[in-house]
Chain A
Amino acid sequence: MATAKQPMTTDTLQALTANRLIDGLVVYLTETGEWSTRVDDAALVPAETGEIVLAATGEQAVSTNHVVAPYLIDVETGGGEVNPTRFRERIRAFGPTVNTSV
């Protein structure tokens, strides 16, 4: 279990992400417990409680076969937008970065 030794900093927020079973698209858990394809809709929780609050929801969504392999990502909020911290997660959220459409 996470222990809150450090005082909470405003930027260490987390979101729960997964891929939706039926179409494989990247989804984020929202505050109403839905799964949205937009990272902006993600419910953000302090990193200290992320594991507890979100893991339970994720496991539930896996057990009902709605999503696959949920995990927590670090996000930053600036200018009213949600931005995953890791480069890979930014590409997952906003990519692909190359125009491959017809």
Chain B
Amino acid sequence: MYQYDTYDKTLVDQRARQYRDQAERRVEGDLTEDEFRPLRLMNGLYQELHSYMMRINIPYGTLSSAQLRKLAHVARTYDRGYGHFTTRQNIQFNWVTLEQSPDILAELAGVEMHAIQSSGNCIRNVTADAFAGAAADEIEDSRIWAEIIRQWSTLHPEFAFLPRKFKIAVTGSPNDRAAIRVHDIGVALHLNAEGETGFEVVVGGGQGRTPMIAKTIREFLPARHLLSYLEAILRVYNQFGRRDNKYKARIKILVHEIGAQPFAEAVEKEWEQIKDSALLLPEDEVARITSFFAPPQLEKLGPTAPAFDAKRLTDRAFAAWAKANVVAHKAPGYGIVTISLKAPERAPGDATHTQMDAIADLADHFSQGEIRVTHEQNLVLPHVKLTHLFGLWQALAHHELATANAGLATDIVSCPGLDFCSLASARSIPVAQRIGRQLSDIERLHDIGELRIKISGCVNACGHHHVGHIGILGVEKKGEEFYQITLGGDPGTDAAIGNIIGPAFAGDRVAGAVENLIDTYLAQRSTNAERFIDTYRRIGAQPFKENLYATA
């Protein structure tokens, strides 16, 4: 993974000192709240419902064991012992103080981490495929380009005060695990006929109150032009994006209002002017960054692992976990392991400091010291020998981290909701917990198969409900919590926005409604291999709707 050189180190150290000065000036009254707010936000500090929350960047979801141990330390020392992994591959701490926030940033700088631009109307932390560098299906490691984008966007002086926040995602695989089509900019790596690396560039996707799927504005951009092209897009957006209404300020509205084609033309016109400027990526710098993402030194193993197969035959629980939580690695004899942060009764995405320490140790033992964060709010050990899986599974189980539900119905994505978030309209976590209780039978869960349930506590859609196979949106009606259900969303290669199925449900009826939808699916699926989303696409909403509202 990427390692800081003297420039990177200097920048985060200086930034931590600069922020300390700003926080002190706020406490002393030299800065008003209106002046300080954008400054603290650009360092990840929010005022939430009960306390300050600090969001810390985990660029493209890649962590070293040392970094994860530091996050455990922050949880223990500055928070209440846990952290929350987010749908944008970051971590947030719910109970920090303004007073101690500069200390946290100073600690993080020591392990090459920061919170720069984790909030505010600027270019946010860049995300990528959580399986990058390990996935059997990838063309090239997307993190090389994500890191290049991270550096370019960090403290970019022209784009610190955009009309609205701005999110960029990169995929290096034809199977999009980075949800690029629901980002402001999505970058998909391709090779052209000559074998050169380049990108398809999509713009104007997003969730929030006006969900949209991004449009392709360039089929193939040679890699060396990546930054000039991004700069051209951002410059057009910075000048012409709406600033009169924050709900219409995202780039998706600009693209929608002027049209994808005219927008693309404006970008190309701007880009022509700057494509050969200092933004042209120097080959030696690309080579330098690429070198950090060289494949890890893995053993040459055969594709089969008899010891692993034997354990699967004798231990049903292990077999279930291996089936759901382990996927193919590009190196034979290895697997990519998802550590579910969706144990029953836990808040989705939460991990305690002891769990974080334990995972860091396990990463050192089993996975080259590397951990990933997924946009489904789970952690990943990317390089595990199949023969080590049983031992790893046992160790994970000891820490309540071996729930066999990756990609299944209880692997629920959820924002913090009204329990923590000052923007929320309704709670999210208790709904996730109720559904989890309802679907606690592991055999049945596996029979249901892949089903992505995503819950947001308000229209801002941090819980990505628009792209849930089943999406759940919390709303407030006359002081009470109600939940609107959408079906058919998908964040991946076949990206789609879910459709509202009908009237909203009271909080205590949501789990029953989900159960009802699942029953319809089970009755309607053509084979056991047909996933919920496939059945929905085949038969449409009507059968689901009829059953769901039959008794209402």
Contacts and interface: CB of A to CB of B under 8 A. Distances in A.
Interface of A: 19, 21-26, 62, 64-65, 68-69, 86-88, 91-92, 95-98, 100-102
A98 to B, nearest CB: 5
A93 B273 CA distance: 56
A102 B82 contact: yes
A25 B49 CA distance: 8
Classify the secondary structure of A's interface with B: loop
A23 B52 contact: yes
A21 B27 contact: yes
B350 interface: yes
The 9 closest A-B pairs by CB, nearest first: A96-B419, A24-B52, A102-B81, A23-B97, A102-B352, A24-B51, A65-B29, A98-B429, A100-B347
Interface residues of B, number: 35
A87 B33 contact: no
B465 interface: no
A22 B98 contact: yes
B479 A21 contact: no
B82 A97 contact: no
Contact of B350 (A68, A88, A92, A100): A100
A97 to B, nearest CB: 6
A28 to B, nearest CB: 13
Given A22-B98, A87-B480, A65 B27 contact: yes
B51 A97 contact: no
A19 B418 CA distance: 16
A26 B353 CA distance: 25
Contacts of B94: 100
A86 B479 contact: yes
A72 B29 CA distance: 24
A46 to B, nearest CB: 22
B347 A102 contact: no
B481 interface: yes
Contact of A97 (B33, B99, B427): B427
Given A87-B418, A88-B476, 17 more contacts: A21-B98, A22-B27, A22-B97, A68-B33, A87-B476, A87-B479, A88-B49, A91-B49, A91-B418, A97-B419, A98-B430, A98-B433, A100-B350, A100-B429, A101-B80, A102-B352, A102-B354
Nearest to B351: A102
B420 interface: yes
A86 B426 CA distance: 12
Contact of A69 (B28, B33, B352, B420): B33
A102 B399 CA distance: 12
A69 B96 CA distance: 18
Contacts of A98: 347, 419, 427, 429-430, 433
A102 B80 contact: yes
Contacts of A68: 33, 47
21 contacts: A19-B51, A24-B48, A24-B50, A25-B50, A62-B33, A65-B26, A65-B29, A68-B47, A87-B476, A87-B481, A91-B49, A92-B50, A96-B419, A97-B427, A97-B430, A98-B429, A100-B82, A101-B80, A102-B352, A102-B353, A102-B354
Nearest to A62: B33
A24 B347 contact: no
A73 to B, nearest CB: 13
B171 to A, nearest CB: 32
Interface in B308-361: 347, 350, 352-354
Contact of A95 (B50, B99, B352, B479): B50
A21 B52 CA distance: 9
Contacts of B479: 86-87
| Best-surrounded residue of A24, A64, A95 (most CB of chain B within 10 A) | A24
A22 B180 CA distance: 38
Interface in B422-445: 427, 429-430, 433
A62 B49 CA distance: 18
A35 B347 CA distance: 31
Interface in B93-107: 94, 96-99
B418 A24 contact: no
Contacts of A87: 418, 476, 479-481
Contacts of A69: 33, 47
A38 to B, nearest CB: 13
Interface string B18-29: 000000001111
Nearest to B416: A96
A26 B418 CA distance: 15
Nearest to A88: B418
A23 B98 contact: yes
Contacts of B476: 87-88
Contacts of A22: 27, 97-99
A88 to B, nearest CB: 6
